[in-house]
Structure 1
Amino acid sequence: MSNIVLAAETFSGNINPGLAAIGYGLGAIGPGVGVGLIFAAVINGTARQPEAQGKLQNLAFTTFVLVEVLALIGIVIYFIASAGV
């Protein structure tokens, strides 16, 4: 029997909701920093080359959505963990 199967058999599914909240809070730091870096790069790029503003904003909002999906996945996992499913 593999280690993964043994770990799955011993896990009872009860996670402390407080620990899940701390885990989500730490997990939300990454997307927060990512969004800040994305829009800082857009401001910097627009200041250097104003005619590229439209392309930079389109790219920024696309990557913003991808980064925010990570935060939304994190909050869904938090609710699953705190529900004890």
Structure 2
Amino acid sequence: MEGELQKVVGRNLRLYRSFRGVSQEAFAERLGVHRTYMGAIERGERNLSLRSLERLAETLDLDPLELLTELRDQDSAPDGKQ
């Protein structure tokens, strides 16, 4: 399915960011990007470079693979902690 990985990354990014209590605007500012660009990433509309994926993961203190791996249990915290 074309673009499915972009959507997985976007959903995971939104979940991890929200779980940490960081607004989309504050997160975008921390990265030095516009809030609308961050929204497009979270909606799976942007095709990220590997370096961009690394920057997102670093900012959230994650392994980049955590953004690429679809979370199965949406009821639990994204990092496995309840």
Which bracket does the TM-score occupy, shorter chain normalised? 0.3 to 0.5
Structure whose alpha-carbon radius of gyration is higher: 1
Higher helix share: 1
Q: TM-score, normalised by structure 2?
A: 0.34
Q: TM-score, normalised by structure 1?
A: 0.33
- With a CA cutoff of 8 Å and minimum separation of 6, indicate the structure with the bigger relative contact order: 1
